[in-house]
Amino acid sequence: MNKTAKINFEKISLPNSGTIVLFTTKSNKLSDTAKELDTNNNKFITKAIKAADFKSAKSSILEIISPTITEPKTAKYDRIILVGLGENKAHTKLDWRNLGGSLAAHLLAKNIESATVLVETETDPEFIANLGHGITLRQYKFDKYKTSAQKDQSKEEETKETNLQKVAIQSEEATAAKKLFTNSLSPVQHGVFAARDLVNEPGNILGPNEYAKRIKALSSLGLGIKVLTDKELKTEKMNSLLSVGEGSRQGSYLAIMEWKGAAKTEQPLAIIGKGVTFDTGGISIKGAGGMEDMKGDMGGSATVVGLMQTLAKRKAKINAVGVVGLVENMPDGQATRPGDIVTSKSGQTIEVINTDAEGRLVLADALWYTQEKFNPKYMINLATLTGAIMVALGKEYAGLFSNNDELAEMLVASGKDTGEQVWRMPLGELGSSYDKLINSTFADMKNTGGRWGGAITAAQFLQRFVNETPWAHIDIAGVAMASNKSPINQSWGSGYGVDLLNNWIEENFEK
């Protein structure tokens, strides 16, 4: 699973054989090496560009197979691949990451085993490292449930066996790029892959029991792991969370992952995730169409688990705590009924109007517990919480709700930096008209707010379980699963949020 090509960073030195990747800019300006090869060999590159009407548009690719090379005499190349940079050069690290993704797609499709990439126009090590990062991210595969016979037959690129073993990235900044890649980007990639794997797993394999086991195994990375079981959750009075799992044959859990990379006295950053391993809707059962997607309703928790792995792998110099509620929402004789009233850990009572609005019931207790137990500096939760957020924002942005402008601004900035974008949505104060929509006739609140503004009333509900802590809720229903494909992500489960929050931590707490 997920064997990716070795990425090497080297000084520029054109090899004599194999596959060579060169960059061209708008109006087909060749890099130095390309120009030299072209001039010495009867303008074979210029001719190919003309014949193919190649425009060097960003991430476009022109492949010249087995060119006749007479100078240098010993050279014999399988392929010369030109990659367009578009206008002059690609300007952001995201551009370079995407270039890497597009290049990897080509190498994989052509079953190329190794390639040497000459980066002559770029000297920023961060950009060069991100080229390698993009190449690696693109190679993610989830084919563990395809038998080998099926794999051989499959014409889909996603499942076809590929042989890419090695990519050498040559540049003047090889040492710095390698350092960045190894210490900072590789840990992110591992966290993203871990999150994608968890989201892609079906509900029959990754139920709460198995999920809890996999989290326990992460102690080998140096994370402090604690898993609370049903019995302990009862003692902790987390009846809101527990009410969601009542209809399941499996246990419900709250898993806590601690990373201690700074002084004991430093307040931790807390990240909380919704881990509904399958959401049938419960007694308020969902329609059959597309219900299979609800195996991804643990996407928020997967981001938390991936992020904690990333922090541990790169030995981040901060304290962080990841908390995930693991439950399965099933209809059953024991299941919670619409109209049932539960008492949350906070003491507030909740009338469960709709058992399909279960994520907020899980998060209510997880948030309260985290805040009480860890007194975090900031608290961020991620959840595939509402269909309504997709109605509002589509699949381009996650929805951001926050009680703190500074935190919201930091997250918006990290979204721009990583390409995992968030759009801030309105959140009313306690007692505001938005907040009042979840008042209940029979209890302190109800778990749905009526027809309009469904993503907002969900956020208002969560806010009732947050005190003074600066807090943000990120609704990732549109971006965590069945997400838009991109040069660096072809997976159903995207791993959204690992990069975003890792960047937020790096930029704001480690510099």
- Write down the catalytic residue from 97, 274, 313, 360: 360
Q: Which of 100, 306, 359, 495 binds ligand BES (CB under 6 A)?
A: 359
Which residue number, 83 or 362, has a Cβ lying nearer to Mn ion? 362
At 402, give phi and psi (nearest 5°): -150, 150
Q: Which of 126, 356, 475, 499 binds Mn ion (CB under 5 A)?
A: 356
Beta strands in 68-197 (DSSP E): 76-84, 114-118, 166-170
Q: Which of 7, 410, 477, 498 binds ligand BES (CB under 6 A)?
A: 477
Binding residues for ligand BES restricted to 413-452, rule: CB under 6 A: 448
294 to 313: interface string for Zn ion, x by CB under 5 A: ---x----------------
CA dihedral angle for residue 511, residue 318, residue 137, residue 118, rounded to 10 degrees: 30
Amino acid letter, residue 343: T
Smallest distance from the beta carbon of 320 to ligand BES, in angstroms?
26
- Report helix, strand or coil for 123: coil
- The option from ligand BES, Mn ion, Zn ion, none interacting with 134 (CB < 5 to 8 A, set by class) reads none
Smallest distance from the beta carbon of 335 to ligand BES, in angstroms?
15
Smallest distance from the beta carbon of 139 to ligand BES, in angstroms?
27
Query: Quick one: how far is CA 56 from the chain centroid?
Result: 30
Q: Which residue number is nearest to ligand BES in terms of Cβ? A: 387
- Write down the catalytic residue from 151, 286, 317, 416: 286
Which residue number, 139 or 329, has a Cβ lying nearer to ligand BES? 329
Identify the DSSP state of 465: T
Binding residues for ligand BES restricted to 283-342, rule: CB under 6 A: 297
Which residue number, 38 or 356, has a Cβ lying nearer to Mn ion? 356
Interface size with Mn ion, residues (CB under 5 A): 3
Q: CA-CA distance, 133 to 9, in Å (whole number)?
A: 12
At 232, give phi and psi (nearest 5°): -70, -35
Q: Which of 38, 95, 173, 356 binds ligand BES (CB under 6 A)?
A: 356
| Residues listed for the chain | 511
Q: Is 279 in the site for Zn ion (CB under 5 A)?
A: yes
The tokens of 285 are what? 């059962």
- The option from Mn ion, Zn ion, ligand BES, none interacting with 477 (CB < 5 to 8 A, set by class) reads ligand BES
Name the CA radius of gyration of the chain, rounded. Answer: 25
Q: Is 508 in the site for ligand BES (CB under 6 A)?
A: no
The tokens of 469 are what? 């802590």
- The option from Mn ion, Zn ion, ligand BES, none interacting with 354 (CB < 5 to 8 A, set by class) reads ligand BES
Per the annotation, the verdict on 360 as an active-site residue is yes
Binding residues for ligand BES restricted to 373-412, rule: CB under 6 A: 384, 386-388
Q: Which of 38, 95, 122, 279 binds ligand BES (CB under 6 A)?
A: 279
Identify the DSSP state of 489: B
Binding residues for Mn ion restricted to 269-328, rule: CB under 5 A: 279
Smallest distance from the beta carbon of 453 to ligand BES, in angstroms?
11
- Residue 14's CB: how many other CB atoms inside 10 A? 15
Cβ atoms of 509 and 269 closer than 8 Å: yes
Identify the DSSP state of 366: H
Smallest distance from the beta carbon of 203 to Zn ion, in angstroms?
12
- The option from Zn ion, Mn ion, ligand BES, none interacting with 243 (CB < 5 to 8 A, set by class) reads none
Smallest distance from the beta carbon of 274 to Zn ion, in angstroms?
7
Nearest alpha-carbon partner for 139 in 157, 114, 155: 157
Q: Which of 208, 282, 300, 454 binds ligand BES (CB under 6 A)?
A: 454
Is the Cα torsion angle 205, 206, 210, 214 positive or negative in sign? positive
The tokens of 376 are what? 């975090």
Q: Which helix (H) or strand (E) holds 295?
A: none
- Residue 483's CB: how many other CB atoms inside 10 A? 20
Q: CA-CA distance, 121 to 26, in Å (whole number)?
A: 13
Smallest distance from the beta carbon of 226 to Zn ion, in angstroms?
24
Which residue number, 359 or 470, has a Cβ lying nearer to Zn ion? 359
Smallest distance from the beta carbon of 140 to Zn ion, in angstroms?
25
Nearest alpha-carbon partner for 52 in 42, 43, 63, 41: 63
The label of the residue with tokens 């990425």 reads: 7
Nearest alpha-carbon partner for 383 in 455, 311, 312: 455
Query: Quick one: how far is CA 91 from the chain centroid?
Result: 23
Q: Which of 84, 207, 268, 359 binds Zn ion (CB under 5 A)?
A: 359
- Report helix, strand or coil for 368: helix
Which residue number, 224 or 426, has a Cβ lying nearer to ligand BES? 426
Active site residues: 286, 360
Contact set with Zn ion (CB under 5 A): 276, 279, 297, 359
Interacting residue ranges for ligand BES, rule: CB under 6 A: 279, 297, 354, 356-359, 384, 386-388, 448, 454, 477
Positions that interact with Mn ion (CB under 5 A): 279, 356, 358
